[in-house]
């Protein structure tokens, strides 16, 4: 069958050869950092490759395979054909051409008359450490703007970026049967999901993206991933999944001629309609108890209250099929800021006529629909096993969390603890025993020379790294939570000590105790309450 996709090709023997070569060159993240050093790595992160090229030059001249592979596939620069042949002994230049990694064009020469080869793809190591363990993969994607020296094509296949890292960091990694990665791109989330799911379906509208994703799965020896083409939930029409993850093309884009529609970031719908489609789709495609997690943007129209649109997508808590939800807004941009972010992302610099033209297109679109702000964040939803919603939490959180290995376990705990909190009324909560979590510290601030604190707060080391202002009663309560006395007994003792009415103190403290339990500052005594809070 003719291959009409201009992306990498899937030839198992050649991919195995490439894997051997990458392994023997020690093509890893820390090895690259050591090759070009901290400053060049930082410059590269800012989109400047000169320092890294200079740092790798001696290695390239000395036929060091790591330096050669890094120059071609990470920096996107041409190298002498003989040098690349030396760095790819198993695959060979013909194999690299056949796989679509380097250009077929054999005419290029350098100043000394040596034949050059040019990369066609970006191929780089990617490493991670999470609650399952640490690992390294190699990820192929399209060359970026820096290497291309021009704007990206509209069907550009993105490599692992900041948003990919955000999603993989919040991904819950508990063993599941079937997982769906919607909009898989280069396939990195599908690779992550394949570590804890028995079966993964990875979908994308882009044939080129699916090709890269499948190439990456084969290159990294991942099995159990099925690749399907189609929009949103179309390719999985009647199927249910225990887990759905998606870093969808959520970027709000004006639908007027002359505004590029990048497939990797734009789902082709109006405003934030893709988000509502994904939330509704999650309702129809989760097994009971199943969890979906995705990144997204949501618009604020006119004088909308916080999360008004997201609330509407989630629907009423009592309606059939309603989902538990924990929505975290990480950033709120006003309309001009939002336009600037995504115009810059497309490679257009401020101060140019093109930048002005695109800004007008974005602001016209926002004006037409009265969009004043756009929120960015992540959504975790669960289909309740018994159909009863126990969690609806929509909040702005500034900290991205300080949890080693990502927020996945913290979010999973939140889903579990919400069920527990909903299952105990205040009378039962008074009988529970709680412990202060080991990562919680107390802050006290004083006016100079004054013994009475002016501010008391609890700070969390893990989770979202929250800081919660306290008063004397709650501070004293938390201080007494060592898993020994039940909540009600501590409150009674405090009422005596502070000489206040016990019922009033209880009514004041219990909702705040529930909040501290939810955010992870207080832990119920799992053994006593039959809770598995891992």
Ligand X SMILES: C[S@@+](CC[C@H](N)C(=O)[O-])C[C@H]1O[C@@H](n2cnc3c(N)ncnc32)[C@H](O)[C@@H]1O
SS3 content of the chain, % helix, strand, coil (to 5): 40, 25, 35
Minimum distance from residue 462 beta carbon to ligand X (Å): 24
Which tokens in the block code for residue 377? 């964040």
Instruction: Compute the chain's Rg from CA coordinates.
Output: 27
**Residues 47 and 40 sit within 8 Å (Cβ to Cβ):** no
Minimum distance from residue 104 beta carbon to ligand X (Å): 26
61 half-sphere exposure, CB direction, 13 A CA radius: 6
**Residues 239 and 226 sit within 8 Å (Cβ to Cβ):** no
By CB under 6 A, tell whether 64 contacts ligand X: no
Residue nearer to ligand X on the CB measure, 80 or 263: 263
Instruction: Return the residue of 70, 119, 142, 184 that touches ligand X, per CB under 6 A.
Output: 184
Residue nearer to ligand X on the CB measure, 206 or 243: 206
CA dist 349 and 356 (Å) reads 10
Q: Can you say whether the dihedral through the CA atoms of 33, 37, 42, 48 is positive or negative?
A: negative
Please give the torsion angle defined by the CA atoms of residues 21, 24, 28 and 32, in that order, rounded to the nearest 10 degrees: -100
Which tokens in the block code for residue 349? 């610099």
Residue nearer to ligand X on the CB measure, 263 or 272: 263
Minimum distance from residue 357 beta carbon to ligand X (Å): 24
Residue nearer to ligand X on the CB measure, 264 or 518: 264
Minimum distance from residue 285 beta carbon to ligand X (Å): 13
Residue nearest to ligand X (CB): 185
3 state DSSP class of 405: coil
Q: Can you say whether the dihedral through the CA atoms of 55, 60, 62, 67 is positive or negative?
A: positive
By CB under 6 A, tell whether 185 contacts ligand X: yes
**Residues 393 and 324 sit within 8 Å (Cβ to Cβ):** no
- Backbone phi and psi for residue 133, each to the nearest 5 degrees, phi listed first: 155, -175
Minimum distance from residue 460 beta carbon to ligand X (Å): 28
Minimum distance from residue 320 beta carbon to ligand X (Å): 26
Query: Which ranges in 113-179 belong to alpha helices (H)?
Result: 145-148, 162-170
Total number of residues that touch ligand X (CB under 6 A): 24
Residue nearer to ligand X on the CB measure, 67 or 139: 139
DSSP 82-124: HHHHHH-TTTHHHHHHHTTSB-S----B-TTS-BEE-BSEEEE
DSSP 181-206: EES-TTSHHHHHHTTTEEEEEEEES-
Which x/- pattern, by CB under 6 A, does the window 220-239 give for ligand X?
Answer: -----------xx-------
Minimum distance from residue 273 beta carbon to ligand X (Å): 11
Minimum distance from residue 183 beta carbon to ligand X (Å): 3
Binding region for ligand X (CB under 6 A) out of 178-186, 395-403, 416-424, 494-502: 178-186
Residue nearer to ligand X on the CB measure, 211 or 265: 265
Residue nearer to ligand X on the CB measure, 187 or 463: 187
**Residues 444 and 416 sit within 8 Å (Cβ to Cβ):** no
Minimum distance from residue 303 beta carbon to ligand X (Å): 31
Residue nearer to ligand X on the CB measure, 88 or 190: 190
**According to CB under 6 A, which residues from 241 to 300 bind ligand X?**
247-249, 263-265, 267
**According to CB under 6 A, which residues from 311 to 340 bind ligand X?**
none
- Backbone phi and psi for residue 70, each to the nearest 5 degrees, phi listed first: -65, -40
Q: Across the beta sheet with 440-446, what order do the strands follow?
A: 440-446, 453-460, 467-470
Which x/- pattern, by CB under 6 A, does the window 109-128 give for ligand X?
Answer: --------------------
Minimum distance from residue 126 beta carbon to ligand X (Å): 10
Which x/- pattern, by CB under 6 A, does the window 131-170 give for ligand X?
Answer: ---------------------------x-x---x--x---
Instruction: Return the residue of 55, 209, 513, 519 that touches ligand X, per CB under 6 A.
Output: 209
- Chain residues binding ligand X by CB under 6 A are 158, 160, 164, 167, 182-185, 188-189, 203-206, 209, 231-232, 247-249, 263-265, 267
């Amino acid at each position: 069958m003719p291959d009409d996709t201009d992306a990498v090709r899937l030839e198992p023997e050649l991919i195995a050869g490439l894997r051997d070569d990458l392994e023997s060159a020690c093509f890893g993240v820390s090895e690259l950092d050591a090759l070009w050093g901290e400053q060049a790595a930082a410059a590269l992160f800012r989109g400047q490759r000169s320092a890294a090229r200079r740092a790798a030059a001696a290695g390239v001249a000395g036929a060091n395979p790591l330096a050669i592979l890094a120059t071609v596939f990470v920096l996107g620069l041409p190298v002498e054909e003989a040098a690349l042949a030396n760095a790819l002994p198993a695959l060979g230049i013909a194999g690299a051409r056949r796989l679509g990694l380097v250009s077929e064009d054999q005419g290029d020469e350098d100043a000394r008359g040596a034949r050059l080869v040019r990369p066609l793809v970006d191929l780089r190591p990617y490493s991670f450490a999470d609650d399952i363990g640490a690992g390294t993969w190699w990820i192929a994607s399209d060359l970026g703007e820096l290497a291309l020296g021009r704007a990206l094509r509209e069907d550009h296949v993105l490599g692992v970026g900041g948003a990919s890292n955000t999603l993989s960091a919040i991904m819950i990694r508990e063993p599941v049967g079937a997982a769906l990665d919607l909009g898989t791109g280069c396939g990195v989330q599908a690779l992550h999901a394949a570590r804890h799911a028995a079966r993964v379906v990875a979908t994308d509208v882009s044939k080129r993206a699916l090709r890269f994703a499948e190439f990456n799965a084969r290159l990294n020896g991942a099995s159990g991933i099925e690749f399907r083409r189609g929009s949103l939930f179309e390719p999985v029409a009647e199927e249910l999944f225990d887990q759905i993850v998606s870093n969808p093309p959520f970027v709000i884009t004006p639908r007027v001629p002359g505004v590029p529609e990048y497939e990797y970031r734009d789902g082709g719908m109006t405003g934030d309609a893709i988000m509502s489609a994904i939330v509704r789709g999650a309702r129809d495609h989760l097994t009971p108890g199943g969890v979906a997690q995705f990144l997204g943007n949501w618009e604020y129209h006119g004088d909308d209250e916080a999360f008004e649109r997201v609330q509407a997508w989630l629907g009423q808590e009592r309606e059939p099929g309603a989902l538990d939800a924990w929505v975290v807004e990480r950033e709120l941009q006003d309309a001009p800021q939002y336009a600037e972010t995504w115009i810059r992302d497309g490679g257009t610099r401020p101060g140019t006529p093109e930048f002005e033209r695109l800004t007008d297109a974005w602001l016209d679109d926002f004006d037409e629909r009265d969009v004043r702000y756009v929120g960015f964040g992540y959504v975790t939803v669960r289909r309740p096993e018994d159909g009863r919603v126990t969690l609806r939490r929509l909040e702005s959180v500034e900290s991205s969390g300080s949890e080693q290995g990502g927020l996945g376990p913290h979010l999973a705990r939140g889903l579990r603890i919400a069920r527990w909190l909903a299952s105990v009324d205040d009378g039962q909560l008074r009988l529970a025993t709680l412990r202060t979590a080991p990562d919680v510290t107390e802050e006290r601030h004083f006016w100079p020379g004054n013994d009475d604190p002016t501010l008391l707060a609890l700070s969390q080391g893990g989770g979202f790294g929250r800081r919660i202002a306290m008063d004397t009663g709650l501070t004293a309560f938390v201080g007494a939570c060592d898993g020994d006395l039940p909540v009600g007994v501590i409150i009674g003792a405090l009422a005596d000590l502070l000489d206040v009415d016990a019922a009033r103190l209880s009514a004041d403290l219990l909702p705040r105790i529930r909040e501290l339990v939810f955010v992870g500052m207080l832990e119920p005594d799992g053994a006593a309450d039959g809770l598995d809070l891992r």
